[in-house]
Amino acid sequence: MSGASVALLGLAAVLLQISRALPPPAAQAHFLRAQQLEESGDLQGASDSFQKAIGVYPDYADAFRARGKVLEKLSDLEGAKHHYLEATRLAPETAANHFSLGLACEQLNDLSQAAQSYSLAIKLDPMMSAAHYSLGIVLEREGALESALPSYREAVRLNPNHLASTLSLGDALKRNADFKEAEVVFRSALSMPATITTPNAKPHLRLASLLQQQQRLEEAAVSFRNGLEVSPSNAPAQFSLGLVEEARGNWSGAKAEYEKAVRLAPGHVPVQRYFAKFLRKHGDLSKAAESLQGILDIDPTDKVLHVELAEVMAQFGDLSRAETSYQNALALDPRLQSAHTKLGILQRQLGKLDDARTSLETALVLNPRDAETAETAEICTQLGVVHKMRGDLRSAAARYQQAIDADPSHAAAHGNLGIVRMLQENWEDAEESFWEALRLDPDYDGAYYSLSGVLSLRGKVDEAKALVRRRIELATEKGIWPFRLSMTQLDSNRLLENRLRQEEEYAKKYAAALGSNADSGHSEDPIARLSNAIEAPPGLHQLTHVIRGVRSMENSSDWALRRWEECLELGSGSVACAYGTTWFETWLQVMADSSLSQKMPHYLEKGLRYTVGGSAIGYQCLFAATALGFNCTGYELLQCLVADSESLAADLKSSVPVDVEFVCGDATNADLSTTGVLWLNDALWPAEVRLKMLLKAVSVMPPGSTVISYQPKPDDQQQKQLSQLRDERMMTASVSWNPAQHFFLWTITP
């Protein structure tokens, strides 16, 4: 539209106005007074004065519109609409009256009336950019995106420095999938004088989302950062920047951005939840747990979150907290069957066998009665494991069979049934079960392990060795740390890592306590008890070094293979191939037995030795030498383990005056006449070998010395011969193959 025609239109309006009678001065006076009151903020006074102007002159169109505006501010939309209607009736040629009516109708959600009024205003004053803009909004709200676009375009053309209409145009274009033009529009908003003088985050963030949607991630990140620089507390933008960095594969960056978003909107649960998932996915389990705990602090009734927290804690290796979280979830909904199952498994790992059984039996009850499913099979298998650990092999076998009946393809049920048959010395059936387990699951690590044992027991040594090699290959392919080839109960690298960290921290704590002269007082705490009983031995500073050496040897596939090959050669003697480790904490806990720790200074003073039967790679001797100061001898049947022990001890012997030696042979042939402490790793020894060992101990060891074993005294018939084993103490502690292993201690009496 040319400048001349605009002027003409303006002139026409003036002429129309003039052609109507002017309001009388009294009405004008009220009008002016009302305007002053409105300006001073007295809306009610203003409304009354406009009303007086109208009272004096009922055709006063401007007064109607002005009062309508005041009523709008007073939130009386209906009243406002009524006044605008009057104004348009009295002065239908005034564009502003229609525009105001349109705004009131729009707010009252009368969109078609609003659109009609805006269109009339535009007809009367095509230059009125605000009317174009508002028409665009109403049309878009009515779902007519295509028709809205020309209105926005016109509004922007008429008033190119108006940010809101520019952003609306860009948004509409984006919604219309016209990304190129949308980008041009958003970029134009960035260079507007208005946004240059007063920086505004909106155009940056609009552009950022557009770029994000187009997967132009680097540019999007830049735009989000620009927007956040202007408006640093914009949590949604902060979160979006995290999403962009995540999509770019910049995980540490994403994490930092999500953290900021959570800090900005701590109560925003979806963001926290997403963040927790992200952390879990990227292995930051302690942060994930923290985040989940944060949401639970806001809403402790979310059972799904409790379960998630439990899973994270279990993954993290904090089994006690995982147990609590499952219990919290179950308190909210006792029918969560899978939570009962997982809780049962955890409790078994924690050595709480009664609780584990209860949880698993509850899960089984909750499982649909007639379900012959993998689920039933899993629960029954887990129940079987609990029975087996309680020593009830018959119930265990029955549960495994029940699992197989429910789901014949459940490999773990066959594998575990094989173990029970093995323990029942039913080699043939055991072999069959393991083969079936491997047929069903060719990656089943435990089945390789057990089957190789059974095969060698049955004299099929070459077949057994081939299986072991395959097992090591598979573990390497799957990233299973070699350590886990020798350890049951540690079914993830992370669990193992945590376990090792805990062990090392404990050893450091022990060394610190012994190193300081402070009296730790009377206590049940093993560290306190031992540090009160004995002096710091000269090798104490080597303790953590020794532990690390042992653990790193155990974590080597070469070592595992060497050990197995040699062990499987033993054929029927290869039951003893099973390997397990006693953690330093557990070992120390046994050593801190009140009676033993009391006698310990005497043993050391008299130069009595520490002797280990079945010393494996010698760690108990190394513990005894460094942590307590004993001279130690380890007896071990496998040549290769003796060599390993010697290599581990070499460092120690060169730096500490301690006598640690390893003998390849049967401890029953040992000279025990100077032994103060005899530790027997006899969990799997044949009964007759164990009896021979104990008889030798009571006849040769000095009175007052101590014998430690994994099993109770042999049965009644031999009781008389072993009556010198007195003052029996039993304790329970966690070892690598059993979280609730029993230990038996006796004192030898004359």
Residues binding ligand NAG (CB under 6 A): 245, 250, 253, 256-257, 481-483, 497, 500, 552, 555, 604, 607, 629, 631, 659
Minimum distance from residue 481 beta carbon to ligand NAG (Å): 4
Minimum distance from residue 511 beta carbon to ligand NAG (Å): 18
The span from the CA of 43 to the CA of 188, in Å, is 39
Residue with Cβ nearer ligand NAG (136 or 549): 549
The span from the CA of 641 to the CA of 563, in Å, is 7
Minimum distance from residue 629 beta carbon to ligand NAG (Å): 5
Beta-bridge partners for 678: 611, 707
All residues at 6 or more sequence positions from 211 whose CB lies less than 8 Å from its CB, including other chains: 183, 217, 219, 220, 223
Residue with Cβ nearer ligand NAG (257 or 636): 257
Residue nearest to ligand NAG (CB): 253
Residue with Cβ nearer ligand NAG (291 or 631): 631
Residue with Cβ nearer ligand NAG (146 or 659): 659
CA 719 from chain centre, in angstroms, equals 53
Minimum distance from residue 472 beta carbon to ligand NAG (Å): 12
Minimum distance from residue 667 beta carbon to ligand NAG (Å): 19
600, 624 Cβ separation under 8 angstroms: no
Residue with Cβ nearer ligand NAG (299 or 558): 558
Minimum distance from residue 552 beta carbon to ligand NAG (Å): 6
465, 473 Cβ separation under 8 angstroms: no
697, 668 Cβ separation under 8 angstroms: no
Residue with Cβ nearer ligand NAG (330 or 600): 600
Tokens 């079945």 found at: 614
Minimum distance from residue 345 beta carbon to ligand NAG (Å): 24
345, 325 Cβ separation under 8 angstroms: no
702, 722 Cβ separation under 8 angstroms: no
The span from the CA of 606 to the CA of 599, in Å, is 11
Minimum distance from residue 659 beta carbon to ligand NAG (Å): 4
Which residue type sits at 470?
R
The span from the CA of 513 to the CA of 382, in Å, is 41
Give the angle subtended at the CA of 516 by the CAs of 510 and 518, to the nearest 5°. 105
Residue with Cβ nearer ligand NAG (415 or 629): 629
139, 168 Cβ separation under 8 angstroms: no
The span from the CA of 381 to the CA of 60, in Å, is 90
Minimum distance from residue 736 beta carbon to ligand NAG (Å): 14
Residue with Cβ nearer ligand NAG (113 or 238): 238
Residue with Cβ nearer ligand NAG (656 or 722): 656
φ, ψ (nearest 5 deg) of residue 214:
-90, 10
Minimum distance from residue 251 beta carbon to ligand NAG (Å): 8
- Show the 3-state SS of 1-62: CCHHHHHHHHHHHHHHHHHCCCCCHHHHHHHHHHHHHHHCCCHHHHHHHHHHHHHHCCCCHH
Among candidate residues 244, 299, 242, 312, the one with its CA nearest the CA of residue 268: 299
Residue with Cβ nearer ligand NAG (94 or 555): 555
